[in-house]
Chain A
């Protein structure tokens, strides 16, 4: 049986061993399953473990590879899917009590893509109820309970891809699938010290995924490195006629190979001076060190500033109105009161009240924001800043009052559908991870991946992992 360190190997390294038949997908899957059974409940990381499916898929992968039919770098690699992705015949709870018994008779497109490349699904990752679509005040806003951070179990993983972050950080799977409408991949990746890619809006099909704010919902990988994110993204990206939000065929697909980096362009990096009003001291120090690394290894790092405007306000209205529409029957039926969180039980009533005129004003502001950001990317390939201004927060914290700060980059990045990646860049004095974020022009997912790769080629923060006993 594989030793402890194998749980933290990258997809790329696992793939090498699997392809060369030095590592059995069945052994790897069994090992991850045992570890997930042991540590998953400690962190409330999983909504559901699916050992039968996992072993069946692993055995199929092993047989194929033994016969010489190797499908590629995800073949035989175990992963977890956020529990808002439909998997035929399995409960898909959306993290919420009103949907605890929901079962779909089809797979989400992302699940089909991962099946096609031979990945092995270990189970469904826990999540914040309705991905936070009705709002939430506490980390406990989940059918599975509060997701605990493997670096410090008294702290949260952030949401809404809370289980995905915990699973990857704790070495319970090689990667996980998360989703982001606003912050739900970047924040858990930062809090958990893992790498997370928020693709350009429309690069990954949402068919079979819970809709929250359909004009902002995105699906992406949480993994051990930017390279791993690229490999998973390559498997799940692409146009899908079943999701009209996906980009056209010629712009949807993504291919990746490490050799691409040999001919990659030098990146022009904009270091954002106004992304956060301030950073907590424990975060500021690693982020400043990360800035020095970037400046040392790239000759094109210059200060940059985000345009000023009501971007967060626009994003707030868009999410509020679209989520009220997405969960209209839940709100109107009163079943919203079955949600765990006190804010989630009522916010939908308020969100229903916003006018169409205000929504359209938000969409006009979005159009202006898109043009302003696109103009900024005339000068820079990527923008860089801290992923979050604070480290993982204590589990009982009231999120509504305990943490208050503007997030214009989150607003702009998400209303404009821009790709972003969060990579680990150090730790606070209390050994909580800190993340560095790169944001790119719409469609230029490769630039943010490249930026993450460059940073990780000169640092080893992404190789650190918590010690679990």
Chain B
């Protein structure tokens, strides 16, 4: 079988795609989140075994986690908070790859999927120009 670039998002199936994660690190929750529950101070370190994020990417992840904890922190255990942090970190490289893909201002988003079921992009054949009237053969 051929190879695909290793940068491809590594997720086996829909199950984990739905969570938008790539399999990677196993975390030690206590290393990550000190707060028992609710929105607490964010840990500064990245979990081991995850790709290093750019400062901008890290800030985005932190912001995302802060938002989750502010809204839902009181209902989450420390283990869940750590898992959420891991998911957010692991999703960032995929987001970066998606954003890096060149699209033009005029590229239309497939707002509601319409499969290309007909050759819509092909112009219909132009009607043939009218032939000049030929002279009657036996005139």
A residues contacting B by CB (< 8 A) are 128, 132-137, 141, 158-160, 181-184, 187, 200-202, 212, 215-216, 244-245, 247, 251, 273-279, 284, 305, 308-310, 312-317, 319-320, 323, 334, 337, 342-343, 345-347, 349-354, 358, 360-368, 370-371, 374, 399-401, 403-408, 410, 415-418, 441-443
Contact between A274 and B3 (Cβ–Cβ < 8 Å)?
A: yes
Chain B residues whose C-beta falls within 8 Å of the C-beta of A320 in the assembled complex: 17-20
A54 to B68, CA, bound (A): 47
Taking A247-B115, A400-B19 as known contacts, 6 extra A-B pairs with beta carbons closer than 8 A to each other, sorted by chain A number, are A310-B100, A323-B18, A353-B64, A371-B116, A442-B116, A443-B117
The CA-CA distance from A407 to B4 in the complex, in Å, is: 10
A131 to B100, CA, bound (A): 30
Say if the beta carbon of B128 comes within 8 Å of chain A.
Answer: no
Contacts of B11 in A (CB 8 A): 312, 316, 404, 406-407
Bound form: Cα–Cα A128–B13 in Å: 13
Evaluate whether A245 and B113 lie within 8 angstroms (CB atoms) in the complex, with A312-B8, A358-B98 already known.
yes
For the complex, give the distance between the alpha carbons of A403 and B1 in Å. Answer: 18
Interface 9-mer from B40-48, B50-58, B87-95, B130-138? B87-95
With a 10 A CB-CB cut-off, give which of A160, A308, A406 has the most chain B CB atoms.
Answer: A406
If A200-B117, A276-B1, A277-B1 touch, does A347 touch B20 (CB 8 Å cutoff)?
Answer: yes
Interface SS majority for chain B? loop
- Size class of the B contact interface (CB-based, 8 Å): 35 or more
Q: Mark B7-39, 1 if CB is under 8 A from A, else 0.
A: 011111111111111111010000000000000
Identify which of B2, B19, B98 contacts A350 (C-beta below 8 A).
B19
The distance in angstroms between the C-alpha atoms of A343 and B112, with both chains bound, is 28
Q: Using Cβ atoms and an 8 Å threshold, which residues of chain A touch B24?
A: 401
- Chain B residues within 8 Å of A334, by CB: 72, 75
Chain B residues, Cβ within 8 Å of A374: 116, 121
Interface pair B76/A317, CB less than 8 Å apart: no
Given the contacts A132-B14, A135-B21, A313-B9, A346 and B98 also touching, CB distance less than 8 Å:
no
In the complex, which residues 50-85 of chain B have their Cβ closer than 8 Å to any Cβ of chain A? 64, 67-68, 71-72, 75-76, 80, 83-84
Identify the 7 closest CB pairs spanning chains A and B, nearest first.
Answer: A135-B19, A442-B115, A363-B109, A443-B117, A182-B14, A347-B19, A274-B2
Contact A319 B103 (CB under 8 A): no
CA distance A134 to B13 in the complex (A): 13
B17 contacts A405, C-beta separation under 8 Å: no
* Contacting pair A305 B2 (CB below 8 A): yes
**Interface contact A313-B18, CB-CB below 8 Å:** no
Instruction: Determine whether the beta carbon of A399 is less than 8 Å from that of B15.
Output: yes
Q: Which of B72, B97, B121 has a CB less than 8 Å from the CB of A313?
A: B97
Closest chain A residue to B18 by CB distance? A135
Contact of A347 among B1, B18, B64 (CB under 8 A): B18
* Nearest CB in chain B: distance from A312 CB, A: 4
Q: Which residues of B contact A399 (CB under 8 A)?
A: 12-13, 15-16
Q: How far is the CA of A347 from the CA of B95 in the complex (A)?
A: 16
Cβ of A343 and Cβ of B121 under 8 Å apart?
no
Which residues of the other chain, A, contact B118 by a CB distance below 8 angstroms?
Answer: 251, 443
Shortest Cβ distance from A416 into chain B, in angstroms? 7
A-side contacts of B13, CB under 8 Å: 158-159, 182-183, 187, 399, 403, 407, 410
| B126 on interface, CB distance cutoff 8 Å | no
Q: Pick the contact of B64: A135, A247, A305, A350 (CB < 8 A).
A: A350
10 residue pairs A–B, Cβ–Cβ below 8 Å: A135-B15, A273-B1, A274-B4, A316-B91, A351-B19, A366-B109, A371-B116, A400-B23, A403-B12, A403-B13
Alpha-carbon distance A368/B104, docked complex (angstroms): 11
Structural contact, B115 and A443, CB atoms closer than 8 A: yes
Contacts A313-B97, A361-B103, A374-B116: A183 and B14 contacting too (C-beta < 8 A)? Answer: yes
Question: A350 and B101: CB pair below 8 A?
Answer: no
Q: Which residues in A have their C-beta under 8 angstroms from that of B84?
A: 346, 349-350
Q: Are B15 and A366 in contact (CB under 8 A)?
A: no
C-alpha spacing A17/B74, complex, angstroms:
62
Tell me the nearest residue of chain B to A349, going by C-beta.
B68
B18 pairs with A319, CB closer than 8 A: yes
A residues in contact with B67, CB < 8 Å: 353
Q: Is the CB of A202 within 8 A of B115?
A: yes
Instruction: Give the residue name and chain of the B residue nearest to A135 (CB).
Output: B19
Chain A residues whose C-beta falls within 8 Å of the C-beta of B68 in the assembled complex: 349-350, 352-353
Separation of A358 and B114 alpha carbons in the complex (Å): 20
Q: Does B5 contact A (CB under 8 A)?
A: yes
Minimum CB distance partner of B106 in chain A: A364
- With A313-B95, A353-B68 in contact, do A160 and B14 touch (Cβ < 8 Å)? yes
Provided the pairs A134-B18, A135-B18, A374-B116 are in contact, do residues A401 and B23 lie with their beta carbons within 8 angstroms? yes
